[in-house]
Structure 1
Amino acid sequence: MRMGKGKYEGIQACADEKGIIAAAAMDQRGSLRKAIAKAKGGDVSDGELTEFKMAVTKILTPYASAILLDPEFGLPALKLRAPGTGVLLAYEKSGYDTSGKGRLPDLLPEWSVRRLVEVGANAIKILLYYNPFDEGKINAVKHAFIERVGAECAALDVPFFLEPLAYDDSVGDEKSLEFARVKPKYVAKYMEEFSKDRYGVDVLKVELPINLAYTQGTSAFKGEAAYTRAEAIQHLKATAQAAGKPFIYLSAGVSDAVFRESLELAIEADVPFSGVLCGRATWQEGIPVYATQGVQALEEWLSERGVRNIQLLNEVLAKGAKPWWTHYGSLEAVRG
C-alpha cells in the first residue's frame, strides 16, 4: 500500500532513523491546568501553561523523535525544539462535550488541517473517547467525525494520528478493577474499527490493553487481579492482531516505571508496536516543582529526572519496538 509523499515524509519526520516513533506528548490543556493549580494552590494563567510547555519542549526534545503540542498554548514552544524533531499538533478541543451522553468530541474552531500545517505540523492528532458498545447513534456521530478529519488530512496529504480512549460509564471508572477486566476487549474493538480505510488513519496511538495495577506477577500489582501475567501477554497479542494500521502506545498517566514495565510485557509478547507518544509518565513529577519553585527549577528537574525518564524509555524501545512501516512489509512498500 503506497501512500502519498506528504504522508510518508510526515510520518518519517516524527520517527527516528530506524523508523521508531519515540515522541513526547505535551498537548495537555485542561488536565495540566488543573494539576498545576492543585500543586500551586491557586489559579493558573495561560502564560504559565505555555511556559511549562516551552520548558518541557526545550529540555526533552533532544531525546525524542517528535513532540506533540496543542495550537492553543503550545506554539511558542515549537521554536525551542531540538533540530530535526518532528511536530504533531492536536486538532481537537480539550476534554469532551459534557452537556449530553457519549463524550462527544469537537474541533478547535479557529483551526483546520491546512492552518496546522502552516504553523509547522508534520502530522495531525485527534483524541476520541470511544466505547465500541455504545448506542449506535452516538458512535455514528463519532465515526462521521473521524471520517471528516481523515478526509481533510488526505486532501492535504498529511498524516493522521488517531488516539482512541476506551470508556464505558456503565462499567465504571477507567482505573477500576471492573474496567480493567473489560479493557482488552474494548481496545481490540477500537483498533479494528479505526484501522478501516474509510477513516484515513495512518497511525493509531492506543492504550495498552492491560492495567498493571491489576496484573499478577508485576511490580505494580495492588493485590486484586483482573488477569495473570500470562493472560496479560495474551491480551497484548490479541489486541495487536486486531490492528490493521501501525500503532504506538500512550502512557495514559501512569508512572514512568509502570509504563516501561508495560512496554517490556508488550516486547515479551512480540507485539509489533512502533514506539510511543509519552507525556505525563516523563514529566508529571515536575508539576509540583514548577508550581512551587518556578520555571528554572522545572528546567533543572527536567534536565536530570525528566531526561533520565526518557532515556530509560528509549532503552526499552530499542529492545523491541518495530519500524512504523513493519505493518506494510517494508519501507519500499509505502514510499510514495
Structure 2
Amino acid sequence: MRSEPALWAPQPQTETSAVDGGSATVDLSALRRPSGGYAMLAVDQREAMRAMFAEHQTEPVSDEQVTAFKLVATRTLTPYASAVLVDRQFAFDRVVAERAVAPGCALIAAADRFHPAHGELVGEVGIDPEVVPERVRDQGAVAMKLLVLWRPDTDPAPRVDMVHRFVARCREAGLVSIIEPVSRKPLDGRAWDWDEGVLAAAVELGSLGADLYKAEVPLRGQGDPDEIRRRCAQISESVTGPWVVLSSGVPQDRFPDAVRLACAAGASGFLAGRAVWASCIGADDVPASLRTHAVDRLRHLGDVVDEAMTRRRA
C-alpha cells in the first residue's frame, strides 16, 4: 500500500549568491526537502508537450488538452515534490485559481518566452514581459525560471545580459532566480560536441548571480559513471551556488542513477518533468497512470536525493 505523502515545513536554510560583484543572502528553503535537497517537478513544457500528445493521436492537440494534463499532473504529483515549475502560456493562472499545488510544495513561475526558429520548437528564447515578477509573487510564486540557449557560434553578450536582467528582476521582487542553460547546435553548421556545450554553458553563465542553476546531465546520463561524475564535478566548479539536473534527453530508467551520480559530484537534486510523467501521455487512463507510475517515480527520485544529501553530511 502506498503511504500518504509527508507534507513538510521548509527548513530555515539560506544560500549566498554573487550578484554583480556583490552578494546577497537568499532563502532557498521553500524549494527544498527537509534533507536539504531539491526534488522539484516541471510541467512548464509548451509546444514540446503538445508534440508528445501528437505522437498518440491523429486529431489536433488543443490548448485545453495540454492545460488539462498540466492541472491533473500538478494536483497529483505536487504532494511528493518540494516545488513545481509552471508556465504562463498554458497553466500558471489556472493552477493558482484552482489551488492545484499541494501544501508544502513551492510554486515557480516560468519567465521565459519560447519562439520556434532554426528548425527547432524552441529556437530562440527571451524574457516574457507578460510574466510580471511582482504579480506572480503575489499569486504565491517564490521563484522564477529562465531558459537560456547556449550555442558555440553565437555572441555570448546577449545571453549574459539576459541573465543579468533576469536575476535583477527576481531580486527586486524578492524572488529566487533559477536559470536553465541548455546546449544547442551551432547555426553555422560547424562540428560541435553537445557535452562540451553543457560544460561551457556552466563556465559562462554559472557565476552571474542566479540563485539556482539547472543543468543538463553530462553524457545524457549514459556511459561510464566515473566520466559522468567527473563532468558533473566540472559543473560544480563552474557554478557559484547550488545546482540541480533536468531530465530531458536522459532515458527515464536511467534518470535516478543520473541524479545519484550528479549529487555525488556536487549537485543538490533535480528539477524535472519528462522522467516523471512523460510515459503517462497516451495512457488509456492518464490520471490513473499519474497516480501510480508517475507518483512512484517521483517518490523514488525524492528518496535518491535524500540519500545523497545524507551521505554528503556524513
* TM value normalised by structure 2: 0.83
Match of 1:185 in 2: 196
Match of 1:273 in 2: 267
Task: Name the aligned partner's letter for residue 125 of structure 1.
Answer: K
State the alpha-carbon separation in 1 of the partners of residues 135 and 267 from structure 2: 30
Of the two structures, which has the highest relative contact order with CA contacts closer than 8 Å and spacing of 6 or more?
1
Match of 2:212 in 1: 203
User: Aligned with 1:210: secondary structure?
Assistant: helix
Q: Deviations over 1:52-79 (max 9, x none)?
A: 0111011111111011101221122241
Q: Structure 1 residue 244 and structure 2 residue 263: aligned?
A: no
Quick check: 2:127–2:166 contact (8 Å CA) kept in 1? no
State the alpha-carbon separation in 1 of the partners of residues 272 and 189 from structure 2: 25
Q: Structure 1 residue 312 and structure 2 residue 300: aligned?
A: yes
State the alpha-carbon separation in 1 of the partners of residues 116 and 25 from structure 2: 28
State the alpha-carbon separation in 2 of the partners of residues 46 and 231 from structure 1: 41
State the alpha-carbon separation in 2 of the partners of residues 152 and 322 from structure 1: 34
Q: Structure 1 residue 38 and structure 2 residue 55: aligned?
A: yes
Quick check: 1:104–1:142 contact (8 Å CA) kept in 2? no
The alignment of Structure 1 onto Structure 2 pairs a total of residues equal to 290
1:240 offset after TM fit, Å?
A: 2.1
Q: Deviations over 1:278-312 (max 9, x none)?
A: 101100011112xxx4xxx2111111111111112
**Percent of pairs identical after alignment?**
26
Match of 1:85 in 2: 105
1:84 offset after TM fit, Å?
A: 1.4
1:82 offset after TM fit, Å?
A: 1.1
Q: Deviations over 1:174-228 (max 9, x none)?
A: xxxx86xx344322222122232xx331100111122344x1xxxxxxxxxxxx4
State the alpha-carbon separation in 2 of the partners of residues 16 and 302 from structure 1: 21
The 5 A counterparts of 1:138-217 are: 139-169=156-186, 182-196=193-207, 199-213=208-222, 215=223
1:260 offset after TM fit, Å?
A: 1.1
Cα gap change, 1:266/1:200 in structure 2, threshold over 3 Å: closer, same or farther? closer
* Structure holding more strand per residue: 2
Quick check: 1:192–1:244 contact (8 Å CA) kept in 2? no
Match of 1:286 in 2: 280
Match of 1:8 in 2: 26
Q: Deviations over 1:127-184 (max 9, x none)?
A: 11112x3233xx21111111111111121221100000012236989xxxx86xx344
Match of 2:257 in 1: 261
Quick check: 2:137–2:173 contact (8 Å CA) kept in 1? no
State the alpha-carbon separation in 1 of the partners of residues 86 and 163 from structure 2: 20
* Structure holding more helix per residue: 1
Task: Name the aligned partner's letter for residue 194 of structure 1.
Answer: L
Cα gap change, 1:229/1:111 in structure 2, threshold over 3 Å: closer, same or farther? closer
Task: Name the aligned partner's letter for residue 106 of structure 1.
Answer: G
Quick check: 1:35–1:287 contact (8 Å CA) kept in 2? yes
Residue of 144, 147, 153 corresponding to 1:134: 153
1:238 offset after TM fit, Å?
A: 2.3
State the alpha-carbon separation in 1 of the partners of residues 166 and 30 from structure 2: 21
Quick check: 1:96–1:106 contact (8 Å CA) kept in 2? no
Quick check: 1:256–1:309 contact (8 Å CA) kept in 2? no
CA RMSD after TM alignment: 3.0
Match of 1:106 in 2: 126
State the alpha-carbon separation in 1 of the partners of residues 119 and 233 from structure 2: 37
Match of 2:6 in 1: none
User: Aligned with 1:160: secondary structure?
Assistant: strand
Match of 2:89 in 1: 72
State the alpha-carbon separation in 2 of the partners of residues 96 and 7 from structure 1: 37
Tell me whether 249-258 or 201-210 shows the greater mean CA deviation: 249-258
State the alpha-carbon separation in 1 of the partners of residues 189 and 45 from structure 2: 23
Q: Please, which runs of 5 or more residues in structure 1 have no aligned partner?
A: 216-227, 330-336
1:38 offset after TM fit, Å?
A: 2.4
Quick check: 2:269–2:305 contact (8 Å CA) kept in 1? yes
User: Aligned with 2:100: secondary structure?
Assistant: coil
Cα gap change, 1:65/1:194 in structure 2, threshold over 3 Å: closer, same or farther? same
Task: Name the aligned partner's letter for residue 126 of structure 1.
Answer: L
Match of 2:228 in 1: 232
Task: Name the aligned partner's letter for residue 317 of structure 1.
Answer: V
Match of 1:299 in 2: 287
Q: Please, which runs of 5 or more residues in structure 2 have no aligned partner?
A: 1-14
State the alpha-carbon separation in 2 of the partners of residues 65 and 33 from structure 1: 26
State the alpha-carbon separation in 2 of the partners of residues 94 and 50 from structure 1: 17
